[in-house]
Structure 1
Amino acid sequence: MPKQEKGKSHSTRPVSRRPPSWCKYQPEEVEAFIIKLAKEGHNTSSIGTILRDQYAIPLVKPIIGKSISDTLKAANLAPSMPEDLANLVKKAQGLAVHMDKNKKDLHNKRNMQIIEARIHKLSRYYKREGVIDKKFKYEAKIASVT
């Protein structure tokens, strides 16, 4: 019988919540790595990738007991806007520049509307959870379909 692979990401998290036996770093060392990388200007996802690829730290949470973003908040290095929302806003700004130059690009006009809808949905969630300020307002660049 063939293996069910459709729709799977082909990667699973480890079952054990304990740090792996082959990872020899202490929690203080891992926190120091995170703070050093954040001061260099890396965002949370790139910090996780660097720790995985260069330092052989597969997951931070089992080792230090908290996530990378929680560690950055404790060190007052957390960004003001969550990373996923900031990436969407950056993508919308780049697409707005493109739309200024290419007014008749209807495919990207629709993409802009979808991105802005995702920004509004995420900002509502983060306002409700208290992650971003209640006064945060994203101004839509493309509001009409015409």
Structure 2
Amino acid sequence: MARMHTRRRGQSCSVRPARNEAPSWSNTDKAAIEKLIVDLRKEGTSSSMIGLILRDRHGVPDVKMVTGKSIGDILVENKISSEIPEDLRDLMVKALGLRKHLEDNKKDLHNKRQLHLVEAKIRRLVKYYVGTKKLPAGFTYKPETTEILLSR
């Protein structure tokens, strides 16, 4: 698949092996895994980092294969999911950093273009999340209020 804002194609990556059940060496205790996920989230860890920690430190190659639910579903069940989806939050942080950089470096045209591209991705993602009702109906991206929104 082609990249969004360039004419280049994507980069081939490794593929996870196709399995129907968890490997014998992995941690398969559902209750312990769900408790770990909840504890890590309460510490302020993002859902993608939770997956990496479970894989690297606790021997859980795939949470969904073991528990039958994704990390996001477990967080929603325990009512500790974030208001803003993680991918949107990361793009907002990136746009905020670019804006702060451009305040000091007004003639940096390359990063000015990157800011436009990142904000286009944010608007596209907000439209998707409002349509899927993961964000409230009146939600709009405003660069002025982004810092306040992310501090919550």
TM-score, normalised with respect to structure 2: 0.84
User: Which of residues 52, 55, 58 in structure 2 aligns to 1:52?
Assistant: 55
In 2, the alpha carbon distance for the partners of 1:7 and 1:93 equals 27
- Offset at residue 7 of structure 1 (A): 3.5
RMSD: 1.4
Q: Which has the higher helix share?
A: 2
Between structure 1 and structure 2, the one with the greater Rg is 1
**Which letter does structure 1 place at the counterpart of 2:46?**
N
SS at 2:121 equivalent: helix
In 2, the alpha carbon distance for the partners of 1:7 and 1:50 equals 25
Deviations 1:80-120 (CA, angstroms, capped at 9, x unpaired): 01100000001101111111111111110000000000000
SS at 1:50 equivalent: helix
Gaps of 5+ in 2: 1-9, 145-152
- Offset at residue 35 of structure 1 (A): 0.5
In 2, the alpha carbon distance for the partners of 1:69 and 1:19 equals 19
In 2, the alpha carbon distance for the partners of 1:77 and 1:137 equals 23
Q: Is the 8 A contact 2:27 2:59 kept in 1?
A: no
- Offset at residue 12 of structure 1 (A): 1.3
* In the alignment, structure 1 residue 26 sits paired with structure 2 residue 29: yes
- Offset at residue 133 of structure 1 (A): 1.1
* In the alignment, structure 1 residue 7 sits paired with structure 2 residue 11: yes
**Amino-acid identity (%):** 41
Q: Where does structure 1 differ by over 3 angstroms across 4 or more consecutive aligned residues?
A: none
In 1, the alpha carbon distance for the partners of 2:108 and 2:27 equals 53
Q: Which residue of 1 aligns with 2:113?
A: 110
- Offset at residue 19 of structure 1 (A): 1.5
Matches within 5 A, 1:56-135: 56-135=59-138
- Offset at residue 140 of structure 1 (A): 4.7
SS at 1:135 equivalent: coil
- Offset at residue 14 of structure 1 (A): 2.4
**Which letter does structure 2 place at the counterpart of 1:49?**
L
